[in-house]
Every structure is written in structure tokens, then in C-alpha cells.
Amino acid sequence: MNVPIELKVKPKYITQYKNKYPLISKDAILNPDVLEREGSIVHLVGDNNQFVAKGYYGKQNKGIGWVLTHKKGERIDFPFFKTKISEAINKRQAFYEDESTNAFRVFNGEGDGIGGLTIDCFAGYYLINWYSEGIYTFKDQVIRVLDELIKYQAIYEKKRFDTKGKYINDDDFVKGMRGEFPVIVKENGMNYAVHLNDGAMVGIFLDQRDVREAISIKYADGKKVLNTFSYTGAFSVAAALGGAEKTTSIDLAKRSKSKTIEQFSVNGIDYEKQDIIVMDVFDYFKYATRHNMKFDMVILDPPSFARSKKRTFSAAKNYPELIKDSISITEKNGIIIASTNNSSFGMKKFKGFVADAFREMNTKYAILEEFSLPEDFHVDRNFPQGNYLKVLVVRKTD
């Protein structure tokens, strides 16, 4: 048995860890240099070395590890992983039983008690995301737990960390029966094509499920819809199935076109009746404005940061401009759906962006509805940053 490494917490951070904040940040630790091997078990200790919490060492973009327990005697072993994962599965029973949806998050990192690890289910194919080399050292235990707790077609994985500066992305298959991709998953009766062995992104973002449903059921009927930063066009599909008159999908990535055709096709929608354009969104706004084009619904779902040839976009800085551009091509009484996954600001600030943009455009608006993460993306109440998704449905009222 390895002796746990003692990490001395700086006095001003002690209360935060006593209050169950889960992320171990380098700034909070007096002696981070004692850390050597990722996956090592660490004890956070206070003055006089008194025990505060136990976790593991694993470097991510934020933090150097996660707290796993506040019980000194609890071991981080197979039963630990089995308990956490089985509690998570129990919380998703409604999803396992729902016949119209078979793609959902089974385990959501710190929200389910183990930061750095997520597990998604796509029609019986399971996808594990490992966010550090440290959490990856527990792979055998996690796979054994899945073997004992669930029936699966296959398990795939994404190692979302660097090893010696190289992103590992050869074969993501772990075990079971290799899938034939795309696998077609169901979400509230809609179909989505998913590829588990083709890069970090699989074709659909599960956290937008409730937004896709709302678009389809409440907002799209009879509308001209512009879907910007469209990726595989998942929002366009929801809109088309919801009766949109026409959808226009804009994404800079060349691959997005064939991927969007695929998503329409697995839903029996004639993609030739939709517009799918490979273009910089900001150029498209200029084009649409110049041609006096107007839409009944504009969907904005940019990445937190994006660099194209001409410009860098940062959600925290440039979102108001994006909304302003959208206001000018949205019909009166039209709808703007503004989404961001940037965890560096909260809903209040995001609403402020909307307010600023409409004020500067001298236009009135009403917020009709707001969304955050869906139920299966369980959030740790001591780590509100984990609730990164913010979506506003806004009506332009004049």
C-alpha cells in the first residue's frame, strides 16, 4: 500500500476544503513540489498536519487533482469506484427506462463524486472521458465496475490529456463488440448519428438535449432558422423536425457539411432543401446584412474560444457583439437562442451581455426561457463552476 502524499493547504484555503470544495488547485497548496506520479493518493492537511480531505493527483487544464472523500479511513479502491458509479447509475434510472431517449450522461465527474471522469451512454455504447493521466491510472477498476454493473455493446474511451506533448488518439476502442459507426441514437424521438472512434467530438453534445427539445416542440414551427456554429447541425435537425420552414447551418469546419448531411439523412429529412454553408459566422453576418436577409430564429452556440484566420473570438469578451450581429438579422418578434459553455462567467453576467447588446441596438426584448445543464449532468453543489451551460431564449420585441 502506498503511503499517501501530504499536501499542505495554505491557511486561507482551509475553510474552502473543509466545506467540501472538490478541486485541488495548485495555488492552494504550499508544497506542490512533492507531487511526482499522477494517480497518487494525496491527503490535504491543515496546520499541525490535521487531515482535511483525500483525493488524487491528476493535472487538468484547471487544477492538479480532485478530492474524493472527507473520511480519512476510506480507501480509494474497487469498492469505492463501484459505490460511486452505482449511485450514479441509480440516479439515471429514468433515462434507462425512457424509450424515446437512449443517449445520456451516466457519470458526470465531480458532480457524481469523482472529478476528471465522465461516462456517457449512446444506445448501449459507453464512452469514458479521462481528463488526466492521474484518473487514467484507475482505468482497470472503472472498467471492472462497468463489467459488473451494466450490459453494454462496447466501451470506448477518450484520453483528454497530453502524454509527452502528444494527444493520444489512435484507437478509442476498449472492449466489447466493436461498433459500426455511425450508431444512431434516439433523443426525444429524434435520431442522431454518433461516431465514437473518430476524434474527441462524437457528433452530438448531450448537454443540449433540453434545448433541442424546446426548439423542436415550442419554437421552430413554420420558422426560418439560422443555426450558427452549427457543427453537425443538431439544432437544425431539431428545428426541421419541429416544422421549420427552412434551416441554414453555418460552420467554419469543412467536415461539418458532410456531418450535417448525415444528421438530416438519419432523420429522413431532404438535406437539399436545407442550406448547409461552410463559412466563418462573422462573414456570414456581413453577407446576410448586406443582402437584407432576416430570420425568425437565430441560434448562437459558439465555442468559448475560437481562432479563425481573421479573428479570435472569446465568449467572455465578444459575446455582446455576436448578439448585436444577430439582432440586426432577426425579424421583429423573432427569437434568438444564445448559448455558452464558458464556465468563467455565470448566468447573471450572460444576461448582462444580452441586455448590453439590445440596449446598444436600441431594441427591446424579453427573455422567454432559460436553460442550464440537464438532469443527467449532475452538478456538485460545492462546485458551481461545474454548471457551465447557460442558454437564453430571447424574443426581439420590436
Q: Which is nearer to ligand SAH, 303 or 346 (CB)?
A: 303
Q: How far is the CB of 231 from ligand SAH (least distance, A)?
A: 4
Q: How far is the CB of 301 from ligand SAH (least distance, A)?
A: 3
Count how many residues are written for the chain. 398
What angle is formed at CA 109 by the lines to CA 107 and CA 112, rounded to 5 degrees? 60
Task: Classify residue 77 by its DSSP letter.
Answer: S
Q: How far is the CB of 247 from ligand SAH (least distance, A)?
A: 12
Distances in whole angstroms, Cα of residue 374 to Cα of each of 95, 177, 191, 208: 12, 30, 19, 8
Alpha-carbon gap, residue 364 to 375, rounded angstroms: 32
Q: Which is nearer to ligand SAH, 95 or 235 (CB)?
A: 235
Amino acid letter for position 49: N
Residues 81/142, Cβ–Cβ less than 8 Å = yes
Amino acid letter for position 78: F
Residues that bind ligand SAH (CB under 6 A): 205, 208, 229-232, 234-235, 250-253, 256, 280-282, 301, 303, 306, 308
Q: How far is the CB of 376 from ligand SAH (least distance, A)?
A: 17
How many CA atoms, within 13 angstroms, populate the side-chain half-sphere of residue 183? Answer: 25
Whose cell is 480509494? That residue is 76
Q: Which is nearer to ligand SAH, 174 or 277 (CB)?
A: 277
3-state secondary structure of 270: coil
- Region of 48 please: left (phi>0), alpha (psi -120 to 50) or beta: left
Q: Which is nearer to ligand SAH, 187 or 380 (CB)?
A: 187
Q: How far is the CB of 339 from ligand SAH (least distance, A)?
A: 7
Q: How far is the CB of 211 from ligand SAH (least distance, A)?
A: 8
Q: Which is nearer to ligand SAH, 57 or 229 (CB)?
A: 229
Q: Which is nearer to ligand SAH, 151 or 254 (CB)?
A: 254
Alpha-carbon gap, residue 13 to 22, rounded angstroms: 12
